[in-house]
Chains A and B, each alone.
Chain A
Amino acid sequence: MNKNGGDDILTIWWWLVAGIVAVAIFIMVTIYASKPIDIRNIESALLTEKILDCISEDGKILSDVSIFDIDSCVNLGTEYSEKQFFVKIQELKADCKEDCLISEKISGRSDFEIYCEKEYGGKVPVCKEISLLLSKNGVNEILKIKTVIGKVDKNVL
C-alpha cells in the first residue's frame, strides 16, 4: 500500500518537473522566436557605400558636399512616420588641425547623432562613421560620412 502511495507521489512530482521543463521550453522558444535579426550594421555600411559612390568617383569628390542631393542618391524610408536615419557628410581640409571644415551636408534625424559619440547598447540606433582621403581639383581632402540607422523595433527585442 505504501509503495503504491510512493508511486503516486513520484508520478505527481515527475509531472511537476515535466511541467516546469515544458514551461521553460515554451518561454525560451517564445523569446528566441520573437528576437529579431539585427541587420542595421550591414544597412549602415551599404548606405555609406552608396553615398560614397554618388559623391565620388575614382578617388575624386565630384561636387560640393553642401549642394549634394542625398534624396537623388538614396530613398530613405517610407516605412515609418518618423525618419529612421541620419546622414552627415563632411568635406574637410587634409593635414589640418583647426577650422578644417570646407562644407557639410546633414539629412534626417539630427537627434540620432549622439549615438555616434559612444556605445550605448540596448534599444538604440546604430552608427557607422568613415573617413577617406580623396582629392578635389587636385587638392587632397578628407571626406567624412556618418550614417545612423534607427529601425529599432524591427531589429532589437
Chain B
Amino acid sequence: MNLMKNKKAGNILMISVIMLILNIMLFTGLFYFAVKKTGTVELEEIYAKKIAVILDSAEPGMQISFDVKKAFDYAEENKADIKTAFSVNDNIVYVKLSNSRGYYYSFFNSENVDLSLDEENKVLNIKVGVKK
C-alpha cells in the first residue's frame, strides 16, 4: 500500500517537474522572441531616424560623434558587416545591422555629408560639409 502511495507521489512529482521544465522552456522562448523581435528592426529604425534628425539640424562645418556601441553588438550577433552598416546616399540614411533589408530614412539638409566609423571607439563620425 505504502509502496503504491510512494510510486503515485513519485509520478506526481515527475509530472510537476516536467511541467515546470516545459513552462520554463515556453516562457524562455517567448522572452527570446520578444527580445529578438523588438531588437534589430527597431534599432535600425532608431539609428536611421536619429542620424536623419542629427543631419537635419546640423550646420555646415559641424563634426558630430555619435555613439553606436549597440549597433556593433547587434551587427556582430547577426553576422552583419559593421563597416557597411551606416551610409548616406542622395539624402537618404541607410542602416543595415543584420542580413535583412535594413532601414532607410530621408533627410532634407542640402549640405554634403560624410560618415566614417571609428571602430576602436565604436563611434560614428558625421561631418557636415559645404553646399552641394
Contact call B37/A78, Cβ cutoff below 8 A: no
Number of interface residues of B (CB under 8 A): 29
Kindly report which residue of chain B lies nearest to residue A24, judged by CB atoms. Answer: B30
Interface residue? A29 (CB, 8 A): yes
Contact call A29/B110, Cβ cutoff below 8 A: no
Interface residue? B92 (CB, 8 A): yes
Contact call B53/A46, Cβ cutoff below 8 A: yes
Interface residue? B17 (CB, 8 A): no
Interface residue? B125 (CB, 8 A): no
A65 to chain B, nearest CB (A): 19
Q: Which of B38-46, B64-72, B73-81, B114-122 contacts A (4 or more CB under 8 A)?
A: B38-46
CB-contacts of A14-44 with B (<8 A): 14, 18, 22, 25-26, 29-30, 32-34, 36-37, 39, 42-43
A42 to chain B, nearest CB (A): 6
Contact call A33/B42, Cβ cutoff below 8 A: yes
Kindly state the interface size class of chain A when it binds its partner. 35 or more
Contact call B33/A26, Cβ cutoff below 8 A: yes
> In the assembly, what is the distance between CA of A154 and CA of B45, in Å?
9
Which of A25, A34, A76 is in CB contact (< 8 Å) with B34? A25
Contact call B19/A11, Cβ cutoff below 8 A: yes
Which of A7, A29, A79, A85 is in CB contact (< 8 Å) with B38? A29
- Contact A43:B91 (CB < 8 A) given known A30-B37, A33-B37, A79-B105: no
Contact call B49/A39, Cβ cutoff below 8 A: yes
CB-CB under 8 A from B90, the residues of chain A are: 78
B104 to chain A, nearest CB (A): 7
Contact call B110/A73, Cβ cutoff below 8 A: yes
> In the assembly, what is the distance between CA of A129 and CA of B26, in Å?
51
- Contact A29:B109 (CB < 8 A) given known A18-B26, A39-B53: no
A152 to chain B, nearest CB (A): 13
Interface residue? A143 (CB, 8 A): no
Interface residue? A74 (CB, 8 A): yes
Q: Can you list 26 A-B contacts (CB < 8 A)?
A: A11-B15, A14-B19, A18-B23, A22-B26, A22-B30, A25-B30, A25-B34, A29-B34, A32-B38, A33-B38, A33-B42, A34-B41, A43-B52, A43-B56, A50-B109, A72-B110, A74-B108, A75-B91, A75-B110, A77-B108, A78-B90, A78-B92, A78-B106, A79-B92, A80-B106, A84-B106
Known: A25-B34, A49-B57, A75-B110. 6 other contacts (CB 8 A): A22-B30, A25-B33, A29-B37, A47-B108, A71-B110, A79-B92
